[in-house]
Amino acid sequence: MRDYAVLIFILSLPFLAALTHDIYVAYDTYGDEWIQYFHPSDLGWVWTQYAADSHDQARDSFGPDLWIAFVLPVLQQKTMFIAAIPLLIFGVVHVIMWVTGKGPYEGRGLMAPSVKKSKGTERVSARPGNTKFKYKRK
């Protein structure tokens, strides 16, 4: 489970970076009243603001039809939400593993077959027919 905590932390870094960037821009622009004017930034604005050359190259490499149909709707979304997608996908997969009893929840999931635990009063034998064991003495 420790590995999952590290993975969740790594997957949350883009979201946290986008959130802190937006807070920084709002505080830098409006000062102490930043909370009233806080607006999450669009992914396209962040891309054109900080890497305009790569944005222009990407726009030129796609055709105008593909750019408008597929890329532009993604660029119009809020950066925080786009950055949270890998974390949300991991969360959904993790819940599915928990429900089905797979992965780290092997045998403990919601839909996993339950096994009755013995209270120590029953004898369990792996020998066929539950016969007594005979010692071979010399």
- Structural domain total, the chain: 2
Residues 26 and 50 in one domain: no
Look at residue 133 in the predicted model and tell me its pLDDT: 66
Q: Is residue 135 part of a domain?
A: no
Residues 83 and 36 in one domain: yes
Residue 6 has pLDDT above 60, yes or no: yes
Neighbours of 46 (CB within 10 A): 20
Look at residue 71 in the predicted model and tell me its pLDDT: 94
Look at residue 120 in the predicted model and tell me its pLDDT: 55
Share of the chain above pLDDT 90, in %: 54
Q: Is residue 137 part of a domain?
A: no
Residue 99 has pLDDT above 60, yes or no: yes
Residues 46 and 96 in one domain: no
Q: Is residue 5 part of a domain?
A: yes
Q: Is residue 89 part of a domain?
A: yes
- Give the mean pLDDT of 9-37: 92
Residues 85 and 66 in one domain: no
Of 59-73, 83-97, 111-125, least confident by mean pLDDT is 111-125
Q: Is residue 127 part of a domain?
A: no
Q: Is residue 99 part of a domain?
A: yes
Residues 50 and 34 in one domain: no
List pLDDT tens digits, range 40-52. 999 999 999 999 9
Q: Is residue 27 part of a domain?
A: yes
Of 6-10, 77-81, 134-138, least confident by mean pLDDT is 134-138
Residues 5 and 34 in one domain: yes
List pLDDT tens digits, range 108-132. 777 766 555 555 555 555 555 556 6
| Residue 80 one-letter amino acid | M
Residues 32 and 4 in one domain: yes
- Give the mean pLDDT of 79-97: 93
Q: Is residue 103 part of a domain?
A: yes
List the domain range (segments joined by +) for residue 70: 42-77
